[in-house]
Amino acid sequence: MSGLCEGRVAIVTGAGRGIGREHALSLARQGAKVVVNDLGGEVDGSGGDLSPAHQVVEEIKGMGGEAIANGDNVADWEGAQRMVNMAVETFGDLHAVVNNAGILRDRVLANMTEEEWDAVINVHLKGTFAPSRWAVAYWRERSKAGEPVSGRIVNTTSVSGIYGNPGQSNYGAAKAGIAAFTNIVALEVARYGVTVNAVGPVALTRMTEGLGPAPETEEEKYARSPHWIAPIVTWLCSDEAAGVTGRVFEASGQTLAIAEGWARGPSTDPIDDPTQLGPVVEQLLGQARANAGMNGEPGAWPQTMLDG
């Protein structure tokens, strides 16, 4: 197979179903050799079944591509290392890591358990850190040896994290952390020839089907298909994307956009008397845009939240 990622080797985590599956298939169509990682668990992370990963591998092989299944836990330190080693030992190199694996344990904060918090933070945040860490170690060693490096990390954030969605403080905190992780690591690894970006997908999958009204028409279903996310991820994994790093993209069947990060808004001279702050803060709030809502539009955050 030939294409945008011809000859490149990619790891895609959580690639047995949904968005991750689309990433793996798209990368393979563009010529990449793919490590299809998936534990095959339920949406909440329980259970395990490697057959979805093997099915994706067979689909890729059926297209004439090359792929191998991997069932390691992305949040396991040694498992993440095995995953990277598998790519290098099987295909001779590693060029891209797509951190996509995730679970949901939605609950309002007052009802959330410690286990629900820890499980989501572990899979999303540590599960992004661990594979990235071992991939960067591999690329750093190659760079130090004077070998050319064209490394790509593509992380999965969410509008729930960068804009905020009630009932998802664990998931949103992890996804906001991933956006920050993306920005920081992009600064660290540029000298090795590695880029780091993130994508915030909006699509109808097992994880999102209960979060809103179901699509009523085929057009709506098509617009919310996970296949819309794969093109930008595939491109970010390619050599063409060498000049793009530290960015967060929103991707869906409705839009492809760049999410702009935190930036300083209205400001004033520092004040050391808290009794004088009330009118000053009121003035600053009057000049500042309200937070973006889930649609990404500045000022869409409910004003009642600011007032109450």
67 in the same domain as 199: yes
**Is 3 among the domain residues?**
no
Query: Which has the higher per-residue pLDDT, 254 or 127?
Result: 127
pLDDT exceeds cutoff 50 at 5: yes
Note whether 144 and 175 are same-domain residues: yes
Q: Does 248 share its domain with 282?
A: no
Q: How many CB atoms lie within 10 A of CB 175?
A: 26
**Per the domain annotation, does 18 fall within a domain?**
yes
139 and 25 belong to one structural domain: yes
Query: Predicted confidence band at 1 (pLDDT cuts at 50, 70, 90)?
Result: low
**What pLDDT is stored for residue 305 in this prediction?**
39
Whether residue 278 sits in one domain with residue 254: no
Q: Same domain, yes or no, for 41 and 185?
A: yes
pLDDT of 298: 77
CATH at 137: 3.40.50.720
Q: Do 194 and 299 have their domain in common?
A: no
Residues spanned by the domain of 294: 274-307
Clarify whether residues 141 and 115 are in a common domain: yes
Domain assignment present for residue 2? The answer is no
Which H/E stretch holds residue 96? strand 96-99
Given pLDDT bands bounded at 50, 70 and 90, which one contains residue 306? very low
Q: Answer yes or no: do 199 and 88 share one domain.
A: yes
Is residue 49 located within the same domain as residue 194? yes
The answer to whether residue 226 scores a pLDDT higher than 90 is: no
Rounded Cα distance, 308 and 299, in Å: 16
For the question of residue 171 being annotated catalytic, the response is yes
> Which among 163, 171, 192, 222 is annotated as catalytic?
171
Inter-residue contact 19 to 203 (CB < 8 Å) = yes
Task: State how many domains the chain has.
Answer: 2
**Same domain membership, residue 292 and residue 218:** no
Q: Which of 17, 149, 157 is nearest to 96 (CA)?
A: 149
C-beta atoms surrounding 66 within 10 Å: 16
Among 37-51, 99-113, 141-155, the range with the most confident prediction by mean pLDDT is: 141-155
pLDDT digits (tens, 9 = 90+) for 26-75: 999 999 999 999 987 565 556 567 899 999 999 999 999 999 999 999 99
Average confidence score pLDDT of the chain = 90
Helices (H), the chain: 18-29, 51-62, 77-91, 114-121, 127-144, 159, 169-189, 218-223, 230-236, 277-287, 303-307
